[in-house]
Structure 1
Amino acid sequence: MHQTVLLDPVRILVGCGQDPIENCAALIRNHELVAFGEEARQQAASEAVPVQPAPNQLLAPCLVDPHSILERPFGEQAENLDSLRHVAARAGYGQVALLPQANAWRDRVERLQGWGSDGNDVRIHLWGALSLDGAGQQLSCHGDLLDQGAIGLCDGEAMPATGLLQRSLVLAEGAHAPILVAPRDPSLQGDGMVREGVETLRAGWPIDPVASETIPMGQLLELQRLYPDQPLWAMNLATADGVNLLEQATVRPTASVHWWHLVTDRSRLPSTAPGWCVTPSLGGIDDRKALIRALKNGFIGAVAVHAVPLDPEDCLLPPGQRRPGLVGHQLVLPLLWQTLVCEEGWTIPQLWAALSFGPARLLKQPTEELAIGSNRWLLFDPDARWRPSLDHADASRGGNQPMLNLEIRGAVVACGLRSPERPPDPKEESARSLGR
C-alpha cells in the first residue's frame, strides 16, 4: 500500500454493534486512518492522493486471539515472541493472549516481566498459572500474578483436580479475573486421537470417547453453579454433547472454541492430513454444526487460534508420537469467512463478534474499533487467492500448519499494525548459504 491512499469504494465495519457501511471511503496515511466517507474523498482530492478501488474488500477492526501457546518466547530458532507478533500482525490480530505453559511456567510474578516491545502494536496478554509449574498440586499466588498483569488463570489443556479448582474459588484471590479451564480428562482420553465415529474406524485412529469432555464439563458446570460470581471459561469446547450440557445449564461459564473445529471435521480430512493431530480431538459433522450453532447463539463467546508451534522436525514423527496442535493465524479469517459467511450465511458483525469483539470482552479488554488517528485496522479481500507455505515470509515458524499448498480464498491484504520483520531463522539462513 502507498504511503497515502484513498480506498474508494470499500466496505467499512467501524466497531461493535454497528453494521458495515457499503460504498464508503477511507483515507490512510502512513498506515493511520485519516478520514472516512465524503471527508476522506474531499481531502484526497485536494492532495491528489491515488485512489485504490476495493468494492468487495472490508476495512475492519483487528482480531483478538484469546489463547495460544508459546513455549520458547525468547528463543532464536523456534517460534518466538518477535516472530509470533509478526505473524499475528500480518494476519490482522491486534491482541494475542498466551497460556502459561512454557519452558518456564508463568506461575511467578517475575515470569510476567520483559514482554514489552518497542515499535510493535500487537498487544500480548499473559495468562497466569493456576498452580505451581502447572502440576496441579499447589496453588500459585493468584493475587500477586493478577496484580502484576496476568489477565486470568489457567492450568493447561486438561482440567485440574476439582478439589484444587474449588479451593481457588473459595480463596477468591483472583477477584473477578477469568479462570480458563479445559473440559478434558486425559485419563479418559487415553491414547485416543479422534472422536469415535465411522470415519475414525476407517482411518484406523485410536478413539477418544466423548466422555473425556462431558465428564469434566459436568464438573465445571457444577462449580459454576456453586460459584456464580466467578467468571469461569470452558476452553475449546469440542463436542455436540458438551454443547448440549452448556445450553441446558442454568448458570453457564463462558466458552471458547478452537477455530479448526469450526472449519472441518473427521469426514472432511484425508487420512494423511496434519489436521487430525489437534487438542481437543477432532469430532464429526454433528459436533461441528453444534459448535457453529452455539457460537452464533452466544453460548460460545470466542474463537481461539490456540496456536501450538512445533518444530518442523517434530512434525515428521508419526501422528501418535508427536504432540498435537496446529498453527495458522493467517488461515483463521479466510477459512471462517468461507465457512460461516459464505456457507452458513453469517453477517459480518456476527463473524467479528466471534473473532474480535467477543474475545476482547472475555479478556476484559476494550473492544477493537476503527478510529481516526489509529493504525489498528485490517483490510480483508474475500476474493484473494493464495497457497500457504512454510517458507512464506509471513508464515509461522511452526511446521504444523494445515492446508499447505492448497488454494485458499480470502486474505488479509493489508494491516496497519507495526511489527518487526520476521527474524531470520538460523536454519533457513544456513540452508540458503548451502544453496538448498
Structure 2
Amino acid sequence: MTEMILLDPVRVLVGPDQPLQEQGAALLKDGCLEALGDQARETARSAGIAPLAAGHQLLAPCLVDSHSLLPEPFQSQGETLQSLVRSAAAGGYGQIALLPEASGNRRELPDQLQGFRPDGCDVAVHLWGGFSQGGKGEQLTPHADLIEAGAIGLSDGTSLPPVPLLDRALTLGESGASPVLIPPLDAVLRGEGLLREGPEALRAGWPNDPLSSETLPLSQLAQLQLEHPQRKLILMGLSTAAGIDLLRRSASPPAATVSWWHIVTSSSSSAATAASWFVSPSLGNSKDRDALIEGLSEGLIQAIAVHASPLDDEESLLPPDQRQRGIAGHQHVLPSLWKALVVSSGWTPERLWDVLSFGPSRMLGISEERLIPGSNRWLLFDPDEVWTPTRSDPWSSKAANQPCLGRPLDGRVLQCGLRTPANPDD
C-alpha cells in the first residue's frame, strides 16, 4: 500500500548552496522525496492528503562520515558491515569511509577493495586504501592501482608514516587528486598516555599524553603540504588548541578533521575520564574543545568525523592500556552535536551540515548530498525528541563501547529514506 505524507510546515535544507527554509513543505512517498514546497502542497491537495505539522523538525540531506574503523566487517561477535550501515542510516549517515586496519583488512591491493557493498543497501561505503605495505611505513603500496580500483584515498589508518616516505609519495604523486589522510600523532611521544597532559589528567590519575605528540608531527605535515601544494593532504583528528594555533599560522594549512567526541566533551568531564571512553587522539581540556569549535567556525577544520572504533563485549572488558582506544555509535552523533553547537554555541543548521555532510564530501572528492525529488537520500531530524539509546534497539550499533547508552539524548533522526539490510534478529 502506497503511503504519502505531507510535512507542512517543516524546516527544509536542500543543499550547500541554499539557505534553510523555515516554512517549507515536503511530500514523502514510500521512502522517497516526491516534491518540495508549493509543488508538494499542490500534489497533496489533489490526492486529498492532509498536512502534518512538523515546524520544529528538519528535513535535510544525509550525513557523511569521512573516517571510521571496522576491524571485522564480515564475521564478528560485535559490529559487522551490515550492522554498521544499518545503525549509520538510523543516525542519518548516507556515506561512510572505512580506514585500513592495523591487521587483516589492510586493503593494499586492488582486489582487496571488493565485497563492501551489502545487497539492498543505499549507504555508500567508501574505502581508504593502505598507504604503506603492512602499515609498517617502509614500502609504498601501489597507490595508482588502488585509486584506479576505487579507493577513496590513501591512509595507514591510525598510524603516522615516516616523513621521508610521505615526502616520497607526495613527490611521486600517484595519488593524483585523491586525498592522503594522515593523523598528526606520534605514538612514541604519546607512549602510554591516555589523556592530554594537564591538571585534569593528573587529578584523574591517568598517564599523560604530551602536547608534542600532536604538535611536532603537525608541523612536519604542514611543511609537507607547503612543499607539495598540488597534493591533497588531510590531517586526521586534530585534538588540541596548540594544534589549531599551528594550523592558523601555517602558510598553506592542510585540510583537517576532528572527531565528534572531542567537540561534545573534554577531560574536564568526569564521564570523559572513565576508563571506558579513552580515544585516539587523546581528549584535551575544555580550552582544547573550545579551540576546536573555533577552528571549525573559521574553516580550519572542514569535517567532523565519527571515527567509530567498535569493540565487542570481550574486548571492552580489557584494561585501557590493552585494548584499542575509541568509541562507536553513529546514532549518537547528530543529537550530541546539535546540542553542543546549535543549542549551546549558536550555530545555524546550515553550518552544522557543512561540517557533517557537505565539507566531508568535498574533502573526499565526492558529490555533495542534497535533497532531490525522486530520491530517498534524506533524513528527518527532530531536535526536541528525547530518547534513550539501548543495545536492544534493532537499529543500534552492536559495539559495546557506545558512550551514550542508557542516558537520555535530546534530538533524534526520526526517519531516513535509505534502504539497509534486514536485521537477522527481526
Same fold (TM over 0.5): yes
1:50 Cα deviation (Å)? 4.4
Deviations 1:38-90 (A, max 9, x none): 22112112212243221100000000000001121111533111111111111
- State which drifts further: 354-363 or 133-142: 133-142
What's the counterpart of residue 78 of structure 2? 78
1:389 is the counterpart of 2:416: no
What's the counterpart of residue 305 of structure 1? 306
- State which drifts further: 181-190 or 271-280: 271-280
Q: 1:214 to 1:375 in 2, by over 3 A?
A: same
1:272 Cα deviation (Å)? 6.4
What's the counterpart of residue 152 of structure 1? 153
TM-score (norm 1): 0.95
Deviations 1:282-327 (A, max 9, x none): 0001100010001111000100000011011211223233211100
Check the 8 A contact 1:269/1:275 in 2, yes or no: no
CA distance in 1, matches of 2:403, 2:260: 12
CA distance in 1, matches of 2:326, 2:118: 27
1:158 Cα deviation (Å)? 2.7
AA in 1 matched with 2:192: D
What's the counterpart of residue 328 of structure 1? 329
TM-score (norm 2): 0.97
What's the counterpart of residue 373 of structure 2? 372
Secondary structure of 1:410's match? strand
CA distance in 1, matches of 2:181, 2:48: 52
Deviations 1:171-226 (A, max 9, x none): 11111211000000010000000001211111111000010000110110111111
Check the 8 A contact 1:99/1:128 in 2, yes or no: yes
The equivalences for 1:20-419 within 5 A come to 20-101=20-101, 103-270=104-271, 273=274, 276-419=277-420
- State which drifts further: 208-217 or 99-108: 99-108
Check the 8 A contact 2:32/2:376 in 1, yes or no: yes
AA in 1 matched with 2:98: L
1:136 Cα deviation (Å)? 1.1
CA distance in 2, matches of 1:252, 1:272: 31
Secondary structure of 1:244's match? helix
- State which drifts further: 277-286 or 168-177: 168-177
Aligned residue-pair number: 425
CA distance in 1, matches of 2:71, 2:282: 21
Secondary structure of 2:189's match? helix
1:414 Cα deviation (Å)? 0.3
CA distance in 1, matches of 2:231, 2:180: 8
The list of structure 1 runs, each at least 4 consecutive aligned residues, that deviate by more than 6 angstroms after superposition, is none
AA in 2 matched with 1:377: W
What's the counterpart of residue 433 of structure 1? none
Secondary structure of 2:422's match? coil
What's the counterpart of residue 434 of structure 1? none
AA in 1 matched with 2:190: Q
AA in 2 matched with 1:202: R
1:107 Cα deviation (Å)? 0.5
1:17 Cα deviation (Å)? 2.2
CA distance in 2, matches of 1:254, 1:81: 28
AA in 2 matched with 1:185: D
1:2 Cα deviation (Å)? 8.1
Q: 1:109 to 1:304 in 2, by over 3 A?
A: same
Secondary structure of 1:257's match? strand
Unaligned runs of 5+ in 2: none
1:269 Cα deviation (Å)? 2.6
What's the counterpart of residue 12 of structure 1? 12
Check the 8 A contact 1:19/1:349 in 2, yes or no: yes
CA RMSD across the alignment: 1.5
Q: 1:274 to 1:19 in 2, by over 3 A?
A: farther
CA distance in 1, matches of 2:386, 2:277: 25
CA distance in 2, matches of 1:328, 1:271: 16
Deviations 1:386-406 (A, max 9, x none): 111222211111100002211
Secondary structure of 1:137's match? coil
Check the 8 A contact 1:10/1:26 in 2, yes or no: yes
CA distance in 2, matches of 1:2, 1:405: 36
CA distance in 2, matches of 1:45, 1:337: 34
